[in-house]
Amino acid sequence: MTALPERVTVYEVGPRDGLQNEARQVPTADKIRFIDALVEAGLKNIEITSFVSPRWIPQLADAVEVARGVTRKDGVTMSALVPNRRGLDAALAAGMREIAVFLSASETHNKKNVNKTIAETLTAFEDVVPPALAAGVRVRAYVSTVFGCPYEGEVDPQRAVDLTRALTAMGVYQVSLGDTIGVANPRQVDHVLDLVLAEHPIETVAVHFHDTQGTALANCYVALTKGITTIDSSVGGLGGCPYAPGAAGNLATDDLVGMLHAMGIETGIDLDKLIEASRLAAAFVGHDLPSKYLKAYIGKQARARRRAEHADEKGAR
């Protein structure tokens, strides 16, 4: 079998990518409890919110309160999306020590998402990345729609290469390649990663899959064979992008961690506690979450309960 990494960093984006897409406004106190539960489960990188316009993403309008309310723990990095200088100032004032900038590989999605061309967005980052770095804040970046755009369809893989180059030259420590609408297939992931990794060290590249068509875990496997050691996911499979019609939830952290542990790859995450965090999220969003691991876990518990009841009944007879 191809050599795979021994350890993977799971970059949890549920509180941001997940909750930005929920119809129901989740109370700030529930978000904070949720993030605390993720920390308890052993996640070391958590994207907790976005300092974006509340007109564009009303679900995350409480960014400051969330950032100030979560329990900070040594060794746990909390991050937030920042689109412009105003967002950076708010993030810094709220105590963020890591931020993420974002843009798309396709013009139409970029325009719909941040109301700028790709070139204008890169220019706007000049106002964000250098001052963030000067303040000692780490900066990550997303390139969205790398594998397909909801408006333009196919996207030239060279876009991911060019944008990764531009972003790393600016000083971001890692670029996460996003399959925003969940259309990537394993062969495509193999090809894009070959192109990007030809220019960049492995630790500077992460992958971010949505699971619209059920290909996210297969795509992760291909990324692992390339040596990728950071994978984004969202607990329970919460998520989507409000400016990407058809985008389903992110790859579920539960499914990813379940697969990695079964393969003997370490994550430092406690799966039972992760499931508790998924259940907490399902309760406050008010609907079932798509994670398959979560469903299987609930099924297993129900079977164990039935067996125990059956044994009790037999004992009483």
Which chain residues interact with ligand HMG by CB under 6 A? 17, 20, 50-53, 55-57, 81, 83-84, 86-87, 90, 102, 113-115, 142, 144, 178, 180, 208, 241, 243
Cα separation values, 131 from 8, 135, 141, Å: 30, 6, 15
Residue number with CB closer to ligand HMG (243 or 297): 243
Residue tagged active-site, from 19, 70, 223, 241: 241
Nearest distance from C-beta of residue 133 to Mg ion, angstroms:
24
Single residue of 9, 11, 17, 132 touching Mg ion by CB under 5 A: 17
Distance between alpha carbon 175 and the CA centroid of its chain, in Å?
A: 12
Distance between alpha carbon 261 and the CA centroid of its chain, in Å?
A: 19
Nearest distance from C-beta of residue 97 to ligand HMG, angstroms:
18
Positive or negative: CA dihedral 104, 108, 113, 115: positive
Give the start-end residues of each E strand in the chain: 9-12, 45-50, 77-81, 98-104, 138-144, 174-179, 205-209, 230-233
Let me know: does 208 contact 142? Beta carbons within 8 Å.
yes
Q: Which does 170 bind (CB under 5 to 8 A by kind): ligand HMG, Mg ion, none?
A: none
Residue 263 φ then ψ, to 5°: -90, 0
Query: Does residue 211 bind Mg ion (CB under 5 A)?
Result: no
CA-to-CA distance for 189 and 157, rounded, in angstroms? 10
Q: Which does 51 bind (CB under 5 to 8 A by kind): Mg ion, ligand HMG, none?
A: ligand HMG
Residue number with CB closer to ligand HMG (60 or 271): 60
Half-sphere exposure of 15 (CA within 13 A, CB side): 35
Q: Which does 243 bind (CB under 5 to 8 A by kind): ligand HMG, Mg ion, none?
A: ligand HMG
Torsion of CA 202, 205, 206, 208, to 10 degrees: -140
The letter for the amino acid at 251 is L
Residue number with CB closer to ligand HMG (125 or 243): 243
Residue number with CB closer to ligand HMG (271 or 281): 281
Using CB positions, name the residue nearest to ligand HMG: 178
Report how far apart the first and last C-alpha atoms of the chain are (Å, whole number): 53
Q: Which does 84 bind (CB under 5 to 8 A by kind): Mg ion, ligand HMG, none?
A: ligand HMG
Nearest distance from C-beta of residue 180 to Mg ion, angstroms:
6
Per DSSP, 18 falls in state I
Half-sphere exposure of 98 (CA within 13 A, CB side): 17
| Residue 241 annotated in active site | yes
Q: Which does 11 bind (CB under 5 to 8 A by kind): Mg ion, ligand HMG, none?
A: none
Nearest distance from C-beta of residue 47 to ligand HMG, angstroms:
9
Residue number with CB closer to Mg ion (180 or 188): 180
CA-to-CA distance for 274 and 270, rounded, in angstroms? 6
Query: Does residue 22 bind Mg ion (CB under 5 A)?
Result: no
Residue number with CB closer to ligand HMG (232 or 275): 232
Helix (H, G, I), strand (E, B) or coil at 210: strand
Q: Which does 249 bind (CB under 5 to 8 A by kind): Mg ion, ligand HMG, none?
A: none
Nearest distance from C-beta of residue 279 to ligand HMG, angstroms:
23
Using CB positions, name the residue nearest to Mg ion: 17
Tokens matching residue 207: 């992958």
- Burial grade of 273 (CB within 10 A; 0-12, 13-18, 19 or more): middle
Nearest distance from C-beta of residue 113 to ligand HMG, angstroms:
5
Let me know: does 229 contact 203? Beta carbons within 8 Å.
yes
Catalytic residues: 241
Residue numbers of the site for Mg ion (CB under 5 A)?
Answer: 17
